[in-house]
Amino acid sequence: MKYVMVEHAGSERPGVLDGDSVLLLDATDLTEVIESGAAPTGVKVPFAEELLRAPLRRFRRDILCTGWNYWDHFEESKGRREGQDVDRPEHPTFFTKGPDVVIGPYDDIAWDPAISAKWDYEAEVALVIGRSGKNIAVDEALDHVWGYMLANDVSQRDLQRAHGGQWLKGKSIDDTMPLGPWIVTADEVVDPQDIHLQCLVNDDVRQDASTRQMAFDVATLISELSFGMTLRPGDLLLTGTPAGIGNAREPQVFLQDGDVVVTRSDKLGTLRNKVVRA
């Protein structure tokens, strides 16, 4: 199933995509659906892309993220971390983003050159936790996933470097992370390590990879993240980006006002966002 948030009668409503229609659910948002379930209202509205909103906006904690989870991406950035290079990690690298980064699947990315001169794209597969768990075993980890969707972890590279090399500040600028276009339930994603992922900028393919190339697979990410730390329904985890980022290109290429960024997947849909001066 595909769960969506849509604009209807002046408010955002959760629903299930049903062909050319959306069946509205009796809930406030998809966070409530994930946590408690929801009955259909019986109301169907015509589906239109322009009605889609970010599937999740209400979080119990910051957005959870994974860094350096494709070795080709880790290697392409060597020597470009401005003195902050590290050895190849033996465990997944985790960080967080502030929740106000989230925008809808077709919303504008709020670009501001006064904030950063190095705006970069990062296409990613994101997952949503559906069952609470702590110290989750690898072979049980996928049972805790409610669904999958796309994200673009738009990053400000100079802010990353300016704040000690940590990633919170350089990845938490408001209204910069497209999310969606819907949440595909875990039962429809038979193998999360068999998802094709691409990022295009102005129709130029910049990233093109499979989740099979991940350094640490999805089950391992969940298991390691939950070590000593409870994961709860509605938690959002980004799983890392593959090679092809603008910061690692020669010459470097960063997002500019007017660029159109497309994040797409064979199984999860398409995000399409224009970079617009805030």
Q: For residue 190, what is the domain's CATH number?
A: 3.90.850.10
Q: Are residues 112 and 221 in the same domain?
A: yes
Q: What is the pLDDT of residues 95-154, one digit of tens each?
A: 999 999 999 999 999 999 999 999 999 999 999 999 999 999 999 999 999 999 999 999
Judge whether 170 and 163 are in contact, CB under 8 Å: yes
Q: Are residues 151 and 21 in the same domain?
A: no
- What is the DSSP-derived secondary structure letter of residue 77? T
Judge whether 130 and 100 are in contact, CB under 8 Å: no
Q: Are residues 46 and 85 in the same domain?
A: no
Q: Are residues 35 and 86 in the same domain?
A: no
User: Cα separations (Å) of 83 from 78, 117, 176, 197?
Assistant: 10, 19, 27, 30
In this structure, is residue 58 part of a structural domain? no
Spatial separation of the C-alpha atoms in residues 149 and 105, rounded to whole Å: 10
Q: What is the pLDDT of residues 45-94, one digit of tens each?
A: 999 999 999 999 999 999 999 999 999 988 887 766 655 677 888 999 99
Q: Are residues 234 and 153 in the same domain?
A: yes
What mean pLDDT is predicted for residues 10-27? 97
- What is the DSSP-derived secondary structure letter of residue 12? E
> Do strands 196-201 and 123-129 pair parallel, antiparallel, or not at all (unpaired)?
unpaired
Domain range for 72 is 63-277
Provide the mean pLDDT of the chain.
95
- What is the DSSP-derived secondary structure letter of residue 26? S
What mean pLDDT is predicted for residues 200-205? 98
What mean pLDDT is predicted for residues 198-212? 98
Q: Are residues 101 and 31 in the same domain?
A: no
Considering the entire predicted model, what is its pTM? 0.96
Of the pLDDT bands very low, low, confident and very high (cuts 50, 70, 90), residue 245 is very high
What's the total number of domains in the chain? 2
On the CB side of 55, CA atoms within 13 Å amount to 29
Q: Give the pLDDT score at 83.
A: 58
Judge whether 142 and 220 are in contact, CB under 8 Å: no
What distance lies between CA 182 and its chain's CA centroid?
Answer: 11
Spatial separation of the C-alpha atoms in residues 156 and 215, rounded to whole Å: 23
Q: Are residues 187 and 92 in the same domain?
A: yes
Given a cut of 90, whether residue 163 has pLDDT beyond it is no
Of the pLDDT bands very low, low, confident and very high (cuts 50, 70, 90), residue 192 is very high
What distance lies between CA 165 and its chain's CA centroid?
Answer: 21
